[in-house]
Amino acid sequence: MKKIRIAVQKSGRLNEDSMRILKEIGIAIDNGKDQLKASARNFPLEVFYLRNGDIPQYLRDGVVDVAIIGENVLIEKGSDLQFVERLGFSKCKVSIAVPKSSKANSLKDLAGKRIATSYPNTVQKYLQQNAIDANLHTISGSVEIAPSIGLADGICDIVSSGSTLFKNGLKEIEVLFESEAVLAVSPLISEEMSTILEKIQFRIKAVLKGRNSKYILLNAPNDKLSEIISVLPGMKSPTVLPLAKNGWSSVHSVIDKGQFWEIIDELKASGAEGILVCPIENMVI
């Protein structure tokens, strides 16, 4: 059976997160140090370890079928390529920043100024959309030092925690867009590989749904049952089982991780007791 070829970043945080999600969807990779590619033991898949910026061209040429890549890189170097899944990790922003001492407080203040960036296509398009004329300096790496050495009046780069901007005396004045890892697809992918990709997507959706959900069990007095159930969205409806103690029931449901504490507060106020919350590894829907 032919193997689907997936590209991941050769090293760094995105590589670690990519290999982690492949492991979580049950794909075991035999990869040694400095390998350029490796095969899965239990799934028709082969991993290519590539430089992030080279991945869009490999997709375009059909050298790989799919790739886990930052959306920011796809926008910069692969705007003609499609992605089929947002993966929820390696989140960042692509932002414009200037020295804290700068009088510039908005994008329009950089009209006629110099902007250093590793994302010239992205920045140029954004400037045109906002009718701003600025001079771009394309540089690779260490973009944040450009203003301090007199190379530029501002920069455009990825921002995660903001600590790098802080350390280099910069302030963010414009966010172009937010980015995360995505599953991108080659326009030349075959029907056979598309079928395998569907299986990968199915597993990824189950993992991501599990990451964003919590399983909750609680005890509820029967006279408060309707009120408590109304607080729990569940997948379809909560599971309700009678307890040995007369007049009480056990309620089981799934709640969104982002609403966890708000829901817990409402449940307690409605009379729920013995609330137990468990993580969910995978959730198939």
The residue ranges of every structural domain in the chain are: 4-88+181-210, 92-179, 213-279
pLDDT of 280 > 90? The answer is no
Q: How far is CA 13 from CA 165, 168, 181, in A?
A: 19, 22, 11
Residue 87 near residue 125 (C-beta atoms within 8 A): no
Q: What proportion of the chain, given as a percentage, has pLDDT over 90?
A: 65
Checking 261-264 for CB contacts under 8 A at 24+ apart, the result is 263/216, 263/231, 263/232
Intrachain domains 4-88+181-210 and 213-279 with the same fold:
no
**Stretch 204-231: mean pLDDT:** 90
CATH 3.30.70.120 holds for 213-279: yes
Contacts for 129 with CB less than 8 Å, ≥ 6 apart: none
Q: Is the pTM of this model over 0.85?
A: no
Architecture of domain 92-179: 3-Layer(aba) Sandwich (3.40)
CATH 3.40.190.10 holds for 4-88+181-210: yes
| Res. 140 pLDDT band, cuts 50 70 90 | confident
Using alpha carbons only, what angle is made at residue 74 by residues 88 and 27, rounded to the nearest 5 degrees? 50
Q: Which pLDDT belongs to residue 281?
A: 82
Q: How far is CA 253 from CA 41, 110, 269, in A?
A: 36, 52, 18
Question: What is the C-alpha separation between 161 and 91, in angstroms, rounded?
Answer: 10
pLDDT of 127 > 90? The answer is yes
Which residues is 253 bridged to in the sheet? 216
pLDDT in tens, 149-194: 888 999 999 998 888 888 889 999 999 999 999 999 999 999 999 9
DSSP code of residue 254: E
Cα-based torsion angle of the residue sequence 139, 140, 142, 145 in order, rounded to the nearest 10 degrees: 0
pLDDT in tens, 218-261: 999 999 998 988 888 656 778 899 999 899 999 999 888 888 88
Residue that wins the pLDDT comparison between 9 and 283: 9
CA-derived radius of gyration, the chain: 24
Q: Which pLDDT belongs to residue 235?
A: 60
| Res. 100 pLDDT band, cuts 50 70 90 | very high
Q: Which of 267, 285, 276 is nearest to 215 (CA)?
A: 276
**Stretch 144-153: mean pLDDT:** 89
Q: Are strands 213-221 and 248-256 parallel, antiparallel or unpaired?
A: antiparallel
Q: What proportion of the chain, given as a percentage, has pLDDT over 70?
A: 97
Q: Which pLDDT belongs to residue 32?
A: 61
Considering only 41-45, 72-76, 92-96, 158-162, which range has the smallest mean pLDDT?
Answer: 158-162
Question: What is the C-alpha separation between 237 and 240, in angstroms, rounded?
Answer: 9
DSSP code of residue 40: B
